[in-house]
């Protein structure tokens, strides 16, 4: 971090292939010139995509002004949180490590450790099938990361499967929590970003903006666990309003047939994590010592085949939506089907899905 603000990122790193794009960022592979170390370089545009710095000074459209404000707030937020992680958390096996920061007129570049193992749900889909024990290992790794973050006052606020990447393709590789753009540090950052993030994983108190607290992340973990064990999300509805209502009242069920094969301990854990009252949810430390999470009671028996098939379908839809969302934000709501198709890659879309977009 010693060179922050003095050198250009291209002085020290060769920039390579794009790994992914987010609403306000692009992530590329980088190679450190000094020792050929491969890294991920996340470039956060200070004023958002498609809005040059010059425009900021002019009388911009109200919408683009708001977007620039959002971009600046998100960049500042992410840097503050990453710095806090460097000071108080790193190195931690379950939290992405920040190696360096560079800044130029338009962007901030975060040099991060490179995760080559893919997203959490993608790896699970690649396996033939999985067991409760595998799900418990995932919960244990995320809980360990959350315990470290919460201990130093950081609430992630956007915990979801796409923000959990495996360090490398090895089966025992650690799972890392990343993407701290919406995170909050107690007494340091303003929760400036309001209701952003994915509603599917958002706790009731986040949705009605009544509280930013570590328990927010434990609800999100409960949603991830629920999906792992049945292949669909707990709060499903035809309209956003109905989904909001379900989340706010904790209206989900574990009655469907395949839940019959899931252990009582796992169901109890889900009930705890998905309690509408945040103070009832188990703490990250309690999670780590929970017998199901620590592996003493979680079975190695393979999960029901129907669950795995549903999980695959859910993951394909999820990837499609994420690609579409990134496209919408980055093209400022002007959808271009050709670009969308490029983004979506292998994900097969029906005509109706494309039309919907």
Q: Which two tokens stand for residue 284?
A: 């990250």
120 near ligand ATP (CB under 6 A): no
Residue 178 Cβ, how far from ligand ATP at the closest point, in Å?
6
Q: What's the rounded Cα separation, in Å, for the pair 272 and 100?
A: 38
Q: In this chain, which of 48, 174, 181, 234 binds ligand ATP, going by CB under 6 A?
A: 181
202 near ligand ATP (CB under 6 A): no
24 near ligand ATP (CB under 6 A): yes
Closest CA to 188 of 288, 79, 26, 327: 79
Q: Which two tokens stand for residue 66?
A: 């708001």
Residue 73 Cβ, how far from ligand ATP at the closest point, in Å?
13
Q: In this chain, which of 15, 19, 261, 316 binds ligand ATP, going by CB under 6 A?
A: 19
Residue 299 Cβ, how far from ligand ATP at the closest point, in Å?
32
22 near ligand ATP (CB under 6 A): yes
Selecting among 134, 158, 179, 217, the annotated active-site residue is 158
Q: What's the rounded Cα separation, in Å, for the pair 64 and 74?
A: 15
- Whether 41 and 27 have beta carbons less than 8 Å apart is answered as yes
Q: What's the rounded Cα separation, in Å, for the pair 281 and 313?
A: 29
Q: What's the rounded Cα separation, in Å, for the pair 173 and 164?
A: 12
**Annotation-wise, does 267 bind a ligand?**
no
Q: Which two tokens stand for residue 11?
A: 């002085």
Q: Considering only 17-25, 135-143, 242-250, 289-297, which stretch makes contact with ligand ATP by CB under 6 A?
A: 17-25
72 near ligand ATP (CB under 6 A): no
Q: Considering only 82-90, 100-108, 173-181, 337-345, which stretch makes contact with ligand ATP by CB under 6 A?
A: 173-181
Question: x/- binding map, residues 80-119, to ligand ATP, per CB under 6 A?
Answer: ----------------x---------------x-xx----
Q: Considering only 19-27, 139-147, 213-221, 255-263, which stretch makes contact with ligand ATP by CB under 6 A?
A: 19-27
Count of positions on this chain that bind ligand ATP (CB under 6 A): 19
**CB neighbour class for 247 (10 Å; exposed up to 12, middle 13-18, buried from 19):** buried
Q: Which two tokens stand for residue 258?
A: 């395949």
CA of 314: how far to CAs of 228, 233, 308, 324, in Å? 10, 8, 10, 15
Which residue lies nearer to ligand ATP by CB, 165 or 223? Answer: 165
Cβ-proximal residue to ligand ATP, closest one: 22
Closest CA to 141 of 124, 112, 166: 166
Residue 5 Ramachandran class (φ > 0 left, ψ -120 to 50 alpha, else beta)? left
- Whether 274 and 252 have beta carbons less than 8 Å apart is answered as yes
Q: In this chain, which of 12, 15, 20, 88 binds ligand ATP, going by CB under 6 A?
A: 20
Q: In this chain, which of 13, 30, 42, 203 binds ligand ATP, going by CB under 6 A?
A: 42
Tokens 């599917």 belong to which residue? 200
Is 158 designated active site? yes
Cis link prior to 14 (omega < 30° from 0)?
no
> Which residues belong to the annotated binding site?
42
Q: Which residues are catalytic?
A: 158
Interacting residues with ligand ATP (CB under 6 A)? 19-25, 27, 40, 42, 96, 112, 114-115, 162, 165, 178-179, 181
> Which residues belong to the annotated binding site for ATP?
42
């Amino acid at each position: 971090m010693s060179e922050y603000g003095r050198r250009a990122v291209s002085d020290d790193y060769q920039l390579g292939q794009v790994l992914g794009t987010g609403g306000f960022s692009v992530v590329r592979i980088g190679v450190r010139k000094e020792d050929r170390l491969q890294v991920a370089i996340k470039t956060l545009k200070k004023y958002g995509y498609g809005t040059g710095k010059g425009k900021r000074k002019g009388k911009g459209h109200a919408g683009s002004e708001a977007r620039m404000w959002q971009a600046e707030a998100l960049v500042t937020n992410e840097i503050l949180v990453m710095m806090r992680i460097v000071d108080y958390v790193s190195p931690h096996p379950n939290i992405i490590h920040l190696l360096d920061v560079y800044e130029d007129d338009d962007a901030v570049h975060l040099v991060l450790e490179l995760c080559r193992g893919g997203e959490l749900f993608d790896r699970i889909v690649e396996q033939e099938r999985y067991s409760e024990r595998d799900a418990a290992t995932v919960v244990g790794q995320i809980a360990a990361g959350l315990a470290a973050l919460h201990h130093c006052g950081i609430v992630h606020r956007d915990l979801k499967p796409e923000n959990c990447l495996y360090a490398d393709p090895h089966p025992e590789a650690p799972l890392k929590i990343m993407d701290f753009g919406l995170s909050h540090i107690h007494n340091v950052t303003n929760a400036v970003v309001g209701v952003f993030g994915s509603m599917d994983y958002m706790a009731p108190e986040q949705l009605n903006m009544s509280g930013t607290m570590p328990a927010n992340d434990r609800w999100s973990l409960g949603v991830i666990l629920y999906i792992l064990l049945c292949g669909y999300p707990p709060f499903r509805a035809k309209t956003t309003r109905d989904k909001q209502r379900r989340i706010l009242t904790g209206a989900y069920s574990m009655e469907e047939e395949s839940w019959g094969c899931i252990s009582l301990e796992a169901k109890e854990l889900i009930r705890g994590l998905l309690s509408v009252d945040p103070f009832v949810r188990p703490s990250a430390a309690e999670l780590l010592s929970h017998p199901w999470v620590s592996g003493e009671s979680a079975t190695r028996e393979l999960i029901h085949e129907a669950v795995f098939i549903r999980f695959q379908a859910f993951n394909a839809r999820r990837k499609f939506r994420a690609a579409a969302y990134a496209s919408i934000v980055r093209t400022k709501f002007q959808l271009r089907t050709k670009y969308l198709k490029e983004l979506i890659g292998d994900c097969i879309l029906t005509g109706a899905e494309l039309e919907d977009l």
